[in-house]
Amino acid sequence: MWRRLHSALGLLALVVVLALAVSGAILSVYPIKDGIAAAPVGTGQSVADIAGPLANALPDIESIEVSPSGQISVQYSDADGLPLSGIVDPSSGAIIGSSPEPGWFYAGLKDFHRGFLMGDNGRILAGVGALIMAALSLSGLALLVSRMGGWRRIVDAPRGSFAARLHTILTRVALLPFLLSSVTAVYLFAVQFEWIMVEDATSVAYPESTQGLPAVSPGTLAGLAAVPLQDLRSLQFPYPGDSYDVFTLRTDAGLTVVDQFTGEVLETVPATRSQQIYAWFYALHTGEGLAWVGALLGLAATLVPGIGAAGVAIWWQRRRQGGHRVQGNIAAGKAEIVILVGSEGGSTWGFARSLHRDLTAGGKAVHLGAMNDFSGRYGSAEQVIFLTSTYGDGNAPENAAKALSLLAEQVEPPKWQYAVLGFGDRAFPKFCQFAKDLDLALGTRGWTAALPVTLINRQSTQAFATWGNDLGRALGLTLSLSHQIATPPTQRLTLIGRDFYGEAMQAPTAVFRFRLSTPPRTGGLRKLMRFLGAATCYSPTDLLGVLPPDGTVPRYYSIASIASDSEVEICVRKQAGGLCSTYLHDLQIGDEIDAFGRPNPDFSFPFRRKPVIMVSAGTGIAPFAGLIRSNRRKQALHLFWGGRSAESDFLYEDALHAAQQSGQLASLTTAFSRMEAGAYVQDRVRADAPRVSGLLSRGAAVMVCGGDAMAQAVRAEFDVILATLGTSVDALKQRGLYLEDVF
């Protein structure tokens, strides 16, 4: 619900919110500028200290005003009765310049911010925009807490695509100021249209007969001398010649009436509650009198375009993935079969849509939704089917993160049956772990299983069809599931070079270089496509999806070339029985393949002026080779790499040594397991613990790429080292400083 509300409001009011934010950011500069320009008020000065000199110098003085920024001005008339205004030096009470008129830019910008230069209609539009901003802030807060896994993890490193991570980071900075700005704007809008009334403090006090009393200087009046100048907001002088008029003095505390002859305080009226509330809301919204608030709101407003752009990119990515938008989707409460999906990258939705389509064709009323939308109010349901992948080390995908807690709220076992289908990769030790956890939780709570939990390796469409046959028998219908894996647009790559390694060690590995059929996108266009999650990126740590000859599930390989290359390079070890690796190793120079690029957002290089420790074994060196090549800033990169033999499979040996000479690689530590006194890469990390500890203490990030067994062993060594620093691998992961790409 929160996500749909947030997306709808954001897209609906994007232009209005951006206009309000940008104009507000510019306006926030003026209170800061005025505060800097205002002369400071001396300690111990009273209102009488400037009222006296000004009254003596200006016979037709009308009032003294103090702006929220502290600038003191005086209003008076010249000999011809023309109104004038001047800036007052608080130390002497002298006029030091004319009050500047607001420039056309400031006046126009202020009118634009308040009403888009459209009068009352524009003010209504701005008020609606402020209300939407408040709703966006609240829904954004709810989404942020949900996405990060609770309040305690709200400052952890975000995950997902570049746009998703950018949106989260900027939102965390701007959310509370944005909420403050929007809520105060809504209040001021309601006051402006008198939906909320502000009652002014008023006085009816008048002096008794003043006939025959001598005129006195305001500088001698006790009632004015008793009020500190720093508290003054305005002082209204008596009308000349009117002996019954009074000094009306306003402060934040209220209104004070002073006799113009005796200096006696005739009445003190406290500020009304509504006045105090209005003053606070006005100051908090504009920053006038609270320069630090203005600076904070202005900074937050400058981030709104970035937040909006990232939000649109996220929406576009979800639109491309399709989500659970499907024709003929029955309302959850009326469906016979409910399909709930947990998906991190979007591919599981494709299987779910195919299941929805074929069940609907079989005459069933089917509802498709995300697992986080589970409500338990499925009055017509006979079966609830869960399709879920995993995220990271067997964890729940983002849109299923709340599923177990929602299911736990079911007091009584439901009447419907359930089935769980998990998607994963057997190369990971916690293969489909979340699907297993889900099935266990459902069984423990007394749910009735229509089928045993089924786990599918690498999105096998054949296994999906087999499961569909079993499901059909359980439902009493003939179900022949068919699903075609959707792949991004591909391009033809031509093999122009290959280097073979490892054959002497029975681990044949090759570095393949392909020429792109079309030039790579560079500069702003490439960045825009990457920002939108387009599958046309060929940068280090991105992945190259290669379609095997049978056209089934693509295989992904880390890219070892830099983004500006007209070539793309990958490093592939030939696996026994491996369809795609065998296909690649059998290629000849000039042969072509179909491939596409895919960002790998959870293994993105941490762009910061800190060291980076890279650990890999075998072909896991590929993304690091690309990062080292692109390290033009000569950031301190420290590589640990393991192979079998220095003579047989030292991948990128010459390039790595050259990078050391050029300064693009700070250090290289190798481990060869099949040589005399052999060692593995984790052994080198352990032996080099003092240096590694020093790098970590200086804020180094860690990147690990390679097989799961290696990654686990390396993780254990880093946990030992980090324990001496009072932290752990998990703590670094939460901060986005320990990244793994494991296969």
> How does pLDDT run across 334-361, given as a tens digit for each residue?
999 999 999 876 789 889 999 999 999 9
Output the DSSP codes for 269-287.
EEPPHHHHHHHHHHHHHH-
Contact 51, 90 (CB under 8 A): no
pLDDT tens, position by position, 660-671: 999 999 999 999
Say yes or no to pLDDT of 523 above 60: no
Mean of pLDDT values over 202-207: 76
Contact 365, 378 (CB under 8 A): no
Higher pLDDT, 282 or 430: 282
Considering the chain, what is the average pLDDT of its residues? 85
Percent of the chain with pLDDT over 90: 41
- Max mean pLDDT range (169-178, 272-281, 734-743): 272-281
- Using pLDDT thresholds of 50, 70 and 90, give the confidence band for residue 518: low
pLDDT tens, position by position, 92-114: 888 888 876 667 787 888 888 88
Tokens of 546: 């290669």
pLDDT tens, position by position, 60-103: 899 999 988 888 999 999 878 888 999 998 888 888 888 766 67
Say yes or no to pLDDT of 387 above 70: yes
Output the DSSP codes for 80-141.
T--EEEEEEETTTTEEEEEPPPPPHHHHHHHHHHHHTTSHHHHHHHHHHHHHHHHHHHHHHH
Q: How far apart are CA 396 and CA 147, in angstroms?
A: 12
Percent of the chain with pLDDT over 70: 90
- Max mean pLDDT range (106-110, 392-396, 550-554, 677-681): 677-681
Q: How far apart are CA 174 and CA 136, in angstroms?
A: 12
Give the CA angle between residues 633, 634, 637 to the nearest 5°: 130
Closest CA to 96 of 74, 116, 114, 76: 74
Q: How far is CA 578 from CA 78, 308, 503, in A?
A: 95, 44, 16
Which residue in the block uniquely carries the two structure tokens 């790098």? 695
Tokens of 433: 């772990």
Q: How far apart are CA 416 and CA 145, in angstroms?
A: 32
Contact 333, 378 (CB under 8 A): yes
Eight-state DSSP code of residue 228: B
Tokens of 268: 């003190």
- CATH topology of 323-475 equal to that of 612-742? yes
Closest CA to 318 of 736, 670, 8, 715: 8
Q: How far apart are CA 309 and CA 53, in angstroms?
A: 56
Higher pLDDT, 365 or 505: 365
**397-409: b (≥16 Cβ within 10 Å) or e:** bbbbbbbbeebee
For the chain, the residue count is: 743
pLDDT tens, position by position, 432-470: 999 999 999 999 999 999 999 999 987 888 899 999 999
Q: How far apart are CA 619 and CA 628, in angstroms?
A: 15
Q: How far apart are CA 699 and CA 112, in angstroms?
A: 46
CATH assignment of 491-603, among 2.40.30.10, 3.40.50.620, 3.20.20.80, 3.50.50.60: 2.40.30.10
Tokens of 656: 């790595």
| Whole-structure pTM value | 0.64
Q: How far is CA 96 from the centre of its chain?
A: 49
What pLDDT is attached to residue 428? 65
Q: How far is CA 103 from the centre of its chain?
A: 37
What pLDDT is attached to residue 535? 45
pLDDT tens, position by position, 2-45: 556 566 555 556 777 788 888 888 888 877 777 777 777 777 89
> Which fold is adopted by the domain 612-742?
Rossmann fold (3.40.50)
Top-level class of domain 323-475? alpha beta
Q: How far apart are CA 70 and CA 230, in angstroms?
A: 8
Give residue limits of the domains in the chain.
2-30+105-197+290-317, 46-89+201-271, 323-475, 491-603, 612-742
SS3 627: helix
Closest CA to 493 of 541, 576, 561: 561
Say yes or no to pLDDT of 520 above 70: no
Q: How far is CA 58 from CA 78, 213, 432, in A?
A: 9, 21, 85
Q: How far apart are CA 696 and CA 610, in angstroms?
A: 10
